[in-house]
Chain A
Amino acid sequence: DAGVIQSPRHEVTEMGQEVTLRCKPISGHDYLFWYRQTMMRGLELLIYFNNNVPIDDSGMPEDRFSAKMPNASFSTLKIQPSEPRDSAVYFCASSRQSGETQYFGPGTRLLVL
């Protein structure tokens, strides 16, 4: 298994543009998590899904951020419109069942100019 797959690995965009980050969890994992990592705030949970259903989105910064999981093998995190303060590394993680280890993807490094 290739583990959690994220794309793109790097994204540079201009303020105001729409950004879509993608994640493929490990096959058979029921939970999917989106995290954001910044120098100031460290690693923060944005949202997580169980069986494709959003469970806790209390970490989503504002309405510009949205996340979907249309099926068990794919999730997107969208930022529209993007702002320079959104520049960060975004990680996706998945876990098989409740209480089990979360496995992280390689991250997407986003730079908004």
Chain B
Amino acid sequence: QRVTQPEKLLSVFKGAPVELKCNYSYSGSPELFWYVQYSRQRLQLLLRHISRESIKGFTADLNKGETSFHLKKPFAQEEDSAMYYCALRGSNFGNEKLTFGTGTRLTIIP
């Protein structure tokens, strides 16, 4: 299982749309997550695909055909500046292992 985040750095103007890319490889039906780490705070769960929620205006749709789980927000806010990690957990029973991408640092330009 592998998670790829192609952008190490992403800068977006305040009010512009945001898209953080995540692609995965896994032979099965994985569970996908986005974690976020704000400056001087702990890594925390932002959202998971099975919840199908919008958190802080962010959404992410699992596209099994493209094996992607991109994170999107229509209008960026300054407080969105943070490090974002995409993660995958396999579907086999009892597997708690999370595989993380290398992360994308998002900077919102005022």
Is B a genuine binding partner of A? yes
Expressed in whole angstroms, the Cα–Cα distance for A91 and B68 within the complex equals 26
Query: Number of contact residues on B: which range applies?
Result: 10 to 19
- Check if B42 sits within 8 Å of A104, measured CB to CB: yes
Chain B residues with CB under 8 A of A105: 42
Q: Closest chain B residue to A95 by CB distance?
A: B96
**Interface window among B58-66, B73-81, B98-106:** B98-106
Expressed in whole angstroms, the Cα–Cα distance for A106 and B38 within the complex equals 12
Interface assignment of B44: CB less than 8 Å from any CB of chain A: yes
Interface assignment of A71: CB less than 8 Å from any CB of chain B: no
B22-61 vs A, CB cutoff 8 Å, 1 = contact: the mask equals: 0000000001000000000011110010000000000000
A16-54 vs B, CB cutoff 8 Å, 1 = contact: the mask equals: 000000000000000101000000011111001010000
Chain B residues with CB under 8 A of A101: 45, 48
* Min C-beta distance of A75 to chain B, whole Å: 15
Known: A42-B101, A42-B103, A43-B103. A104 touches B96 (CB 8 A): no
Contacts beyond the supplied A43-B85, A45-B98: 16 A-B pairs with Cβ under 8 Å: A31-B96, A42-B100, A42-B101, A43-B100, A44-B100, A45-B97, A45-B99, A48-B97, A91-B43, A98-B94, A99-B31, A101-B45, A101-B48, A102-B45, A103-B42, A104-B43
Residues in chain B within 8 A of chain A (CB atoms):
31, 42-45, 48, 85, 94, 96-103
16 contacts between A and B (CB under 8 A): A3-B42, A4-B42, A42-B85, A42-B102, A42-B103, A43-B43, A43-B100, A45-B97, A45-B99, A48-B96, A48-B97, A56-B96, A99-B31, A99-B96, A104-B43, A104-B44
Residues in chain A within 8 A of chain B (CB atoms):
3-4, 31, 33, 41-45, 48, 50, 55-56, 91, 95, 98-99, 101-107
Q: Which 7 pairs show the lowest CB-CB distances between chains A and B?
A: A42-B102, A43-B100, A104-B43, A104-B42, A101-B45, A45-B97, A106-B42
